[in-house]
Structure 1
Amino acid sequence: MPLTALAAELLLLIADELSLHDVSSLLRANHHLNTLLTPHLYTRAKTLLVPLPSRGGQDLELEPLLNNLARLGRIRSVTHILNAGASATTGSPPALYTAAEAGQEDIVSLMIAYHMERTQGVAVCRVACQRYNSGRSPLHIAAQCGHDATVRVLLEADFSVMEQTEDGATPLVLAVTNARVQVVRTLLEYGASPNVDVGGLSVSAARRKPLIHWVVKNAFVLKVLRGSDLLPILRLLLDYGADVLSRDGYRATPLHIAARSGDGIELRLLLQSTPESKKAGGKLVHSQIVALLIERGADVNARDQGGRTPLHNAAEFQDVEMVRTLLEAGAKREVANGAGKTPVWLASANDWPRGSGEIVKLLEDWSIGPDKY
């Protein structure tokens, strides 16, 4: 017989016999009986708090209930459970982490205040809070999920803007790679370095991949496939000091990356079934990113470890507009890479699938004068 078929009086009698674990489970599943049972279940849970067995003075069964209430934003019930001795900084996951993930900034603030009161301010909350999900802190998960108000609460509580996960990601890396523009702005305002590597602060030189490189490389695809615009994020990173001349493990600059990440042969094959309207948005964002990099001082003739310039990349990957943009910005068309190949040679050797020779002609005739085009 379903619960909905029982009389209200009988339901309340049954609720009085529930354990705290049962109460927690029913609170999560309680939809149709919300008006009748939820207030009674919270009351029942509070009566169970005192006699619970504990280990080391900490009530073990409180943590699952505290997590559920934190996720739902039940601040009064969270207060009752914290008063009963529950910890917000331990568990799997800690309730503070859960509240941060859900964007419940008021509950995050409450939990931090309780922790500081209990430790007389000695144990900083960010140090006491257990990590979860590959070493993510509450600040990491709030940044990843785009909860700006929660991020600000955690930063004001002395959570470090530069702390790393197990794989070396800072909160800024997670915010950028999830296209959380406002959180990116906040983290930069609080001192996050824009010149971090996607692989972490301690990554070896051979494996370097600066965050700005990740943005440039993925801007086209993310715009086309997800509608995420990384241009505002790139502008913020540059405004706060991201190095437009930074090098990755192959000595490539952001402009090298851009020259092979736009409307080139690889992406045309990858996105051949994508509607042209969506691809047009990606092309626009990519062209704006290239223009921004050049405006901010990118070196159009910089060489990577193979002696390649951005023009070599654009010619090889058959990006006509990128070739034109680089030439207009002063790229040298006759320079050879480490293997002795010029942009014209690479364009000719890779003139597929278009087969029009458009880039070869553009490069060969450029010395006549760009006004011709």
Structure 2
Amino acid sequence: MSILASPCKSPKCRLQQLPSELLIRIFLFGQNPAFVSTCKSIYTISRSPLIRAQFILRRYGPLAALSERCLTSLPIARQLPVVDYLLKLRADPRADADYLLWQSIREQNVNLTILLVDAIQPDTRTLQQYLNGAASHGSISMVDLLVARYGASIDHGDGTVMMLACAENRVELVRHLLTRYHCDPHAFRDQYLRRACLSGHEALVELLLPGADVHAFNDAALQNAVHKNHLGIAYQLLAQGASANVNRGACVILAVQQHHVPILRLLLDHGADPRCQQDSPLQLSCRMGLLDVAQVLVEFASERLAMINTLKGMPLYEAFRHGHADVVDFLLSGGADPSLPLAQQGLHEAILHNHVACVAQLQRAHTELPLPRPLAQYKASASGPMFQLIQHWAS
């Protein structure tokens, strides 16, 4: 009873749990040399690909013999000779939407792919889908097989094969397509380059850049690189002649919005206008509290004082309104005039929103400046610390 209750799961323990009558029969059969020889023969026969294929067909049926479920649970079903017999026995080669074929393309199994494609006999459209899949996985051997043996077309009208190879950063396949199949790297106004710049594939950009029109679609390649913060690619494009001031300073605006300081500095080093779109970059940086961005913009401005006081004090207004005390301090130390109309409006809103640190910065720098509104107007809305500060200031 203790043996029967044993939790042991080893083969020896499980054998000991068999009834004694069955153990005796096993012992007696084991003394017969013919039984041992028969077992070995049966084991050898069971390894036959034909026997295995027959077993799989009986268990799963012809429609699912090459399905994902079968191939996952029975590794023997993936063996090339077994697949060959399954196909000869009319198993469906396209089970589960060509599951096994896509696996063979992904693994670059040429012989298995040949077996399956020969059995499928795909039409032109399906063949192009297989070719596109091979391109996505960067399989040079699969691409060459589908083109040479089955007549798939590398250029079937829309450059999909090249685009997929570029999108997945398959640099070696792209180089192969350019050298062996003479694909045009600049087709569709350098769409491959623009995609590579968006995805951040530096090696691919380096391959596609020679001879490219970097100004296509309003320097879209550079705008893509800046948008995704790909510094190395942006440098390559600018070195190739891309315009840092493209689209009324759109790249500068993007770099500010996304707080990409190295790219912003790179653009400004290549002649971008820090005051584009009526000083929108500085306005944005002050609104967002990006002190390092504001410092870089002012550093590259030719008329720094005019920039800091642009639009009747707009930078101070944004910094006050959104409570960025460090930006307020930077602007004031750079010569910002708090008496300008918008600066006064910003101070008023800073008081109403209880941005104590901002107001304290101004109070320390300009003790003689009057409040933008009479003190009584702030009594109801200002917090205790804020009201004490402005009350002391007014007195």
Counterpart check, 1:310 vs 2:312? no
- Matching residue's letter, 2:271: G
Counterpart check, 1:113 vs 2:185? no
Residue aligned with 2:271, SS? coil
Higher relative contact order (CA 8 A, sep 6+): 1
Asked if structure 1 preserves the Cα contact closer than 8 Å seen for 2:320 and 2:355, the reply is no
Asked if structure 1 preserves the Cα contact closer than 8 Å seen for 2:256 and 2:281, the reply is yes
Query: Residues 243-282 of structure 1: matches in 2 within 5 Å?
Result: 243-247=273-277, 251-262=278-289
How far did 1:183 drift?
Answer: 1.8
Cα distance, 1:23–1:326 mapped onto 2, change above 3 Å: same
Cα distance, 1:169–1:14 mapped onto 2, change above 3 Å: farther
Counterpart check, 1:10 vs 2:82? yes
Unaligned stretches of 5+ residues in structure 2: 1-59, 61-69, 369-395
Counterpart check, 1:323 vs 2:328? yes
Residue aligned with 1:170, SS? helix
Equivalent residue number for residue 296 of structure 2: 292
Query: Residues 339-358 of structure 1: matches in 2 within 5 Å?
Result: 341=342, 343-351=343-351, 353-356=353-356, 358=357
- Matching residue's letter, 1:28: W
Counterpart check, 1:162 vs 2:192? no
How far did 1:350 drift?
Answer: 3.2
Cα distance, 1:363–1:304 mapped onto 2, change above 3 Å: closer
Asked if structure 1 preserves the Cα contact closer than 8 Å seen for 2:136 and 2:165, the reply is yes
Cα distance, 1:353–1:307 mapped onto 2, change above 3 Å: closer
Residue aligned with 1:321, SS? helix
Asked if structure 2 preserves the Cα contact closer than 8 Å seen for 1:300 and 1:329, the reply is yes
Asked if structure 2 preserves the Cα contact closer than 8 Å seen for 1:344 and 1:364, the reply is no
Equivalent residue number for residue 362 of structure 1: 361
CA distance in 2, matches of 1:257, 1:94: 40
Counterpart check, 1:66 vs 2:126? no
- Matching residue's letter, 2:133: N
- Matching residue's letter, 2:251: L
Q: C-alpha offsets along residues 296-343 of structure 1, whole Å, 9 cap, x if unaligned?
A: 12635338996443222212222111111111122222222xxxx4x2
CA distance in 2, matches of 1:260, 1:102: 38
Cα distance, 1:303–1:210 mapped onto 2, change above 3 Å: farther
CA distance in 2, matches of 1:215, 1:188: 15
Cα distance, 1:30–1:83 mapped onto 2, change above 3 Å: closer
Asked if structure 2 preserves the Cα contact closer than 8 Å seen for 1:315 and 1:344, the reply is no
- Matching residue's letter, 2:206: R
Asked if structure 1 preserves the Cα contact closer than 8 Å seen for 2:166 and 2:196, the reply is yes
Cα distance, 1:21–1:319 mapped onto 2, change above 3 Å: same
How far did 1:187 drift?
Answer: 1.9
Unaligned stretches of 5+ residues in structure 1: 54-58, 118-123, 198-207, 220-229, 263-285
Cα distance, 1:113–1:104 mapped onto 2, change above 3 Å: same
How far did 1:105 drift?
Answer: 0.9
How far did 1:151 drift?
Answer: 1.3
Asked if structure 1 preserves the Cα contact closer than 8 Å seen for 2:147 and 2:153, the reply is yes
Q: C-alpha offsets along residues 242-282 of structure 1, whole Å, 9 cap, x if unaligned?
A: 111211xxx333112211111xxxxxxxxxxxxxxxxxxxx
Q: Which structure has the larger Rg? A: 2
- Matching residue's letter, 2:129: P
Asked if structure 2 preserves the Cα contact closer than 8 Å seen for 1:71 and 1:99, the reply is yes
**Which structure shows the higher helix fraction?**
2
Counterpart check, 1:234 vs 2:294? no
Asked if structure 2 preserves the Cα contact closer than 8 Å seen for 1:15 and 1:41, the reply is no
Equivalent residue number for residue 102 of structure 2: 28
Asked if structure 2 preserves the Cα contact closer than 8 Å seen for 1:344 and 1:363, the reply is no
CA root-mean-square deviation: 3.7
CA distance in 2, matches of 1:187, 1:82: 34
CA distance in 2, matches of 1:332, 1:307: 9
Query: Residues 41-190 of structure 1: matches in 2 within 5 Å?
Result: 41-44=112-115, 59-83=124-148, 85-90=151-156, 94-116=160-182, 124-127=184-187, 137-156=191-210, 158-164=211-217, 170-190=220-240
CA distance in 1, matches of 2:232, 2:293: 19
CA distance in 1, matches of 2:186, 2:279: 37
Percent of pairs identical after alignment?
23
Asked if structure 2 preserves the Cα contact closer than 8 Å seen for 1:126 and 1:159, the reply is yes
- Matching residue's letter, 2:280: T
- Matching residue's letter, 2:235: R
Q: TM-score, normalised by structure 1?
A: 0.66
